Chains A and B, each alone.
Chain A
Amino acid sequence: MTLSISEIILITVILLLGIGFYGLLAVRNLIKVIVSLQIMVKGMMLGFVLAGRLAGNVSLGQSLAILVIVVDTIVAIIGLALAVQIRRYAGSLDVKALTTLKR
């Protein structure tokens, strides 16, 4: 069985999204949560380029991927700034130690 290029990329997209999703669920360090989010977004960007290629309009996929890169970078910057401030004030990056909803 030989896989086409589109199928290989689709499997990669699904696996990257799955790995990122697992990280979001399982990881407790705030900076690692942002790393998981970044992995998910990388999978999604690849998915946009693949969708553009399948639809016969790679430029449209590229323009959407550029938008996602900008949004993703801003999310990373704000998330890291929040992590730094949380570490400064709460003394920990453990998401479970930060919650006040369940004691």
Chain B
Amino acid sequence: MTFILIAAGAIICAVMAIRAGRLLTSALWLAATSALVALLMYMLGAPEVAVIELSVGAGLVTILFVFAINISGEEATNLKSALPKPLAWVSILIFFILLGYFSLPAFLQPLPEAQIIPLKTVLWEYRSLDVVLQAVLIFAGVLGLIGLLAEEKPGQEKEHQA
């Protein structure tokens, strides 16, 4: 019952994040979704990733959203849909059917025996390349951010105008 309540809460928060009229409200609903998903992860027996999701997904990313909305300003979000609504709904229906078709057979197979391997062993020994990739991605992200948000120097502006 607890699982159903939390899962329903996460889905309602996600719907509200899409439907919210203001961008700031949308960001706050997203943070609530993130917190509830983290709670589900914790209850599934994955506490490490739940903590990271709660601090990064619900904390850092929300702050970034609020910061970005503060800089760019609120704008009307209740614009007409980019795609015709019937086409969007048909796409969603096809998406659900395909996802169900590919994921449900996993439940019909007998489950393998549980292996208890500590996370640090998996992370640092089996999937060490992932850790290197994460470090590279973080550096690439920081460099990309510096490049995107860099202010033009006065000299460069003149060069562009010339």
**Nearest CB on B from A95, distance (A):** 6
Q: How many pairs of residues, A versus B, come closer than 8 Å at their CB atoms?
A: 238
A residues near B17, Cβ cutoff 8 Å: 35, 39
Residues of A at the B interface (CB closer than 8 Å) are: 3, 5-12, 14-23, 25-29, 31-32, 34-36, 38-39, 42, 45-46, 49-67, 69-74, 76-78, 80-85, 87-88, 92-96
Measured CA separation A63–B155 after assembly (Å) = 47
Is there an interface contact between B40 and A46, defined as CB atoms closer than 8 Å? yes
CB < 8 Å neighbour of A17 from B53, B95, B119, B145: B95
Measured CA separation A8–B17 after assembly (Å) = 21
**Nearest CB on B from A73, distance (A):** 6
Task: Give the dominant DSSP class at A's interface.
Answer: helix
A residues near B141, Cβ cutoff 8 Å: 73-74, 77-78
Q: Does B106 belong to the interface (CB within 8 Å)?
A: yes
Is there an interface contact between A77 and B7, defined as CB atoms closer than 8 Å? no
Number of B residues contacting the other chain (C-beta, 8 Å)?
81
Closest residue of B by beta carbon distance from A4: B107
Measured CA separation A65–B33 after assembly (Å) = 16
Residues of B at the A interface (CB closer than 8 Å) are: 3-4, 7, 10-11, 14-15, 17-18, 23, 26-27, 30, 33-34, 37, 40-41, 44-46, 48-49, 52-53, 56-57, 60-61, 64-65, 67-69, 71-73, 75, 77, 79-83, 85, 87-88, 91-92, 95-96, 99-100, 103-104, 106-107, 111-115, 117-119, 121-123, 126-127, 130, 133-134, 137-138, 140-141, 144-145, 148-149
**Are A73 and B61 CB-contacts (below 8 A) given A67-B133, A81-B148?**
yes
**Nearest CB on A from B115, distance (A):** 5
**25 A-B residue pairs with CB within 8 Å:** A8-B3, A16-B10, A21-B92, A25-B82, A26-B83, A29-B77, A31-B26, A32-B26, A38-B34, A45-B53, A49-B49, A53-B46, A54-B106, A57-B122, A60-B127, A63-B123, A65-B53, A69-B57, A74-B137, A76-B61, A78-B145, A85-B148, A87-B71, A88-B72, A94-B79
A residues near B83, Cβ cutoff 8 Å: 25-26
CB < 8 Å neighbour of B112 from A5, A17, A39, A55: A55
Closest residue of A by beta carbon distance from B71: A84
Is there an interface contact between B77 and A32, defined as CB atoms closer than 8 Å? yes
**Nearest CB on B from A69, distance (A):** 6
Is there an interface contact between A59 and B122, defined as CB atoms closer than 8 Å? yes
Is there an interface contact between B148 and A58, defined as CB atoms closer than 8 Å? no
